[in-house]
Amino acid sequence: MCREEARDLALLQKSGKLGKAKLIGVVKELAPCATAKTDAELGVAEFQDQYFPYPLYLDSEKEFYSALGSRTFSDLPGTWNPITFWNGLKSIGERIKAKKLDGNMRGEGLVLGGIFVVSPKKKSVSVFPESTGKEIPAEEIALAVKAC
């Protein structure tokens, strides 16, 4: 889960659009945070405090990422048009800056995640794979939660 997804999900929860649904995060790695005294200190507490104040679990075997297809940034359809590519990067940067998010340059940044909506009653799952450069589909996620 990246910082933007985490913050957007937390805001969706706070808006009441997810009702009584429980949010749980899964991270693929634990990176040292800016305030860590040593590299042995992990940034989970900082991540939870600033972006996702819900339970977090470490998926060191990357089982959830495997269920999403083990996609990476390089798997995304791209463009060979440098102007279109540059405008896309610029748009992402502007959105991140507007949300006052800083970059985390440590860890495996090319692995794409996503969002699972799991119904405890129906045992059904809705999956929303991460799409680099795009906002989370908040209204679709809210509808999936309500369908549970």
On whether the pTM is more than 0.85, the answer is no
Query: What is the distance between the alpha carbons of residues 7 and 95, in angstroms, rounded to a whole number?
Result: 13
Cβ partners under 8 Å of residue 142, min gap 6: 12, 17, 18
118 Ramachandran zone, left/alpha/beta (phi>0; psi -120 to 50):
beta
Q: Which of 15-19, 34-38, 105-109, 122-126 has the lowest mean pLDDT?
A: 105-109
* pLDDT of amino acid 140: 93
- Domain span at 93: 3-147
- In 3D space, the residue among 95, 127, 107 whose CA is nearest the CA of residue 4 turns out to be 95
Task: Measure the CA angle with vertex 62, ends 58 and 66; round to 5°.
Answer: 145
Q: Tens digits of per-residue pLDDT, 57-86?
A: 878 788 888 888 887 765 445 667 788 777
Number of structural domains (the chain) is 1
Segment 120-136 shows an average pLDDT of 80
Q: In the block, which residue shows the tokens 């502007």?
A: 94
Average pLDDT value for the chain: 77
